[in-house]
Amino acid sequence: MLQSRLKTRRLPRRLPNNQKCSKRRIANAGLRVRLGRDIAMKHILLVATGGTIASTEAGRGLSPALTGEELARAVPEIAALCDIEIMQPMNIDSTNMLPVNWLRIRDIIVERYDAFDGFVILHGTDTMAYTAAALSYLIQQSPKPIVITGSQRPMGSSFTDAKLNLYQSLRFATDARSHDVTIVFGGIAIAGTRARKQRTMSSNAFTSVNYPPLAIIRNDRVIRTDCAEMMSAQFSSTVHAALDYARAERASVKDLRPEDLAAAGPIAQSSRKRSGKAGALGIEQPRAPHTYEGLDERVFVLKLTPGLKPSIFETLRPSYDAVILETFGLGGIPSHEERSRSFQHAIFDWVDSGRTIVITTQVPEEGLDLGVYEISRPYAEHPGILRGDDMTTEALVAKTMWALGQSHDPDVVRTLFYLPVNHDRLVIA
């Protein structure tokens, strides 16, 4: 049985003092009604967290002020689409979004999972990709949609994109084939682990990195890219079935052995098929998501720049358990030395001390390959170094926090890190 070498740091579940949680339902003409009239309509929970979509100008720049109810009332077309309830756990600029807020959003969804057909989260755009990735790892293989959206312009401004984004997100959430964590923004649906904010002002703010968009929303229709959905669903269903089997054999994911996934294989897959139900593509879908609570926020993103010294790792050592190293090109790391110490020495020492390092690239598209150039070959050959491959930095941050939140044993972290979740990687170790 594997034992953690380092104690997992759990985040507090208490929110900062200025972030209060409230729950309200839309009221109209003194009656308790939800936004929607047909009891057969899908029941969606709208979780408002602030962001540009909720912002107003108060004389010192935009800041979140509108409530979830006010945002919903600004789009009356919702009434013909679905039946919603609203919760407002926070009303913040997403620049201030913290891992503890991710856990709060996670709790809201998990605690109410059986009561709703889907979930839509209103969020600021600046850290939306991080939140989408984090929720992808905290709530895995959700058969119900968890949609995140926002806007580049406030709801009350001229030519706002907020109304269409909110409507299309709810439209996507009510579609029978929607599932898992997804960003819906600017008419496209992006897997929660593949999104990146590409533009600071344009309405098509987000792009899907190294993976096709899951769908486009046009004229009230959700148009799917079935090939991508089929490929990921088949693979992730098998892997998660194996993880289910391993969990059943071992009391906790912390006791998971790297060989468990391979050993569980066909037994777990047949077990999943018996307990699940067929989805729209004929693929067995789970009845409930895999949920997790732990996150270790002691993760640092280090971007290599010309002239950076290897001693930076000594500076980071007291405060961080993991470093995500954004390298040059396909994975280039300088070979020069500083007082007889090179990056190779510093990185190998970091890993050999039981800490985690993930090597990725600064280049947004196409990923890395440590085997191409001589200068990066030593890192490809070291068994303790994790490769980001074609994953986004946002997903790497969230996945590393999640993996370390389950265990600090390097073998368990490695197993969880290479577990494909919500389309997050194409290259499998």
The verdict on residue 320 lying in a domain is yes
Q: How many structural domains compose the chain?
A: 3
In this structure, of 136-145, 246-255, 362-371, the range with the lowest mean pLDDT score is: 246-255
Q: What is the pLDDT of residue 6?
A: 34
Does 87 or 32 have the greater pLDDT score?
Answer: 87
Whether residue 367 sits in one domain with residue 337:
yes
- Catalytic residue list contains 393: no
Catalytic residue (choose from 49, 52, 207, 361): 52
Sequence-distant (6+) residues with CB within 8 A of 262 are 242
CATH of the domain at 411: 3.40.50.40
Q: What is the pLDDT of residue 13?
A: 47
Identify the domain boundary among 175, 191, 224: 224
Q: What residues make up the domain containing 69?
A: 43-224
Pairing of strands 215-218, 188-191: antiparallel
- Catalytic residue list contains 291: no
* CA 242 to chain CA centroid, nearest Å: 22
Q: How far apart are CA 346 and CA 30, in angstroms?
A: 66
Contact in structure between 196 and 129 (CB atoms under 8 Å): yes
Q: What is the pLDDT of residue 231?
A: 52
Phi-psi region of 42 (alpha: psi -120 to 50; beta: other; left: phi over 0): beta
Whether residue 244 sits in one domain with residue 192:
no
The verdict on residue 278 lying in a domain is no
Whether residue 215 sits in one domain with residue 106:
yes
CATH of the domain at 141: 3.40.50.1170
Whether residue 348 sits in one domain with residue 410:
yes
Does 116 or 286 have the greater pLDDT score?
Answer: 116
Whether residue 166 sits in one domain with residue 88:
yes
The band of 37, judged by pLDDT with boundaries at 50, 70 and 90, is: very low
**How much is the average pLDDT of 216-229?**
81
End-to-end CA distance of the chain: 23
Q: What is the pLDDT of residue 243?
A: 55
Q: Which token pair is 276? A: 């699940």
Catalytic residue (choose from 49, 56, 95, 125): 125
Q: How far apart are CA 344 and CA 375, in angstroms?
A: 10
* CA 111 to chain CA centroid, nearest Å: 19
- Best CA proximity match to 90, nearest among 128, 129, 51, 127: 51
The verdict on residue 426 lying in a domain is no
Q: How far apart are CA 35 and CA 140, in angstroms?
A: 29
Answer whether residue 32 shows pLDDT above 60.
no
Whether residue 167 sits in one domain with residue 59:
yes
Identify the domain boundary among 224, 249, 273: 224
Interval 280-339: pLDDT, tens: 444 455 578 999 999 999 999 999 999 999 999 999 999 999 999 999 999 999 998 877
Whether residue 354 sits in one domain with residue 316:
yes
Sequence-distant (6+) residues with CB within 8 A of 265 are 238, 242
The verdict on residue 32 lying in a domain is no
The band of 59, judged by pLDDT with boundaries at 50, 70 and 90, is: confident
The model's pTM: 0.82
Indicate the annotated binding residues.
Answer: 94, 125-126
Q: How far apart are CA 191 and CA 183, in angstroms?
A: 6
Whether residue 138 sits in one domain with residue 97:
yes
The verdict on residue 172 lying in a domain is yes
Does 119 or 251 have the greater pLDDT score?
Answer: 119
Interval 72-108: pLDDT, tens: 999 999 999 999 999 999 999 999 999 999 999 999 9
The verdict on residue 292 lying in a domain is no
- Best CA proximity match to 377, nearest among 413, 332, 422: 332
Indicate the annotated binding residues for substrate.
Answer: 94, 125-126
Identify the domain boundary among 164, 193, 224: 224
The verdict on residue 287 lying in a domain is no
> Mean pLDDT score of the chain, rounded to an integer?
83
- Best CA proximity match to 180, nearest among 131, 213, 135: 135
- Best CA proximity match to 355, nearest among 305, 308, 318, 327: 318
Whether residue 137 sits in one domain with residue 187:
yes
Whether residue 313 sits in one domain with residue 199:
no
Q: What is the pLDDT of residue 373?
A: 87
Contact in structure between 395 and 424 (CB atoms under 8 Å): yes
Whether residue 216 sits in one domain with residue 75:
yes
Q: What is the pLDDT of residue 29?
A: 28
Whether residue 253 sits in one domain with residue 323:
no
Contact in structure between 385 and 359 (CB atoms under 8 Å): yes
Task: Reduce the DSSP state of residue 313 to 3 states and report it.
Answer: helix
The verdict on residue 371 lying in a domain is yes
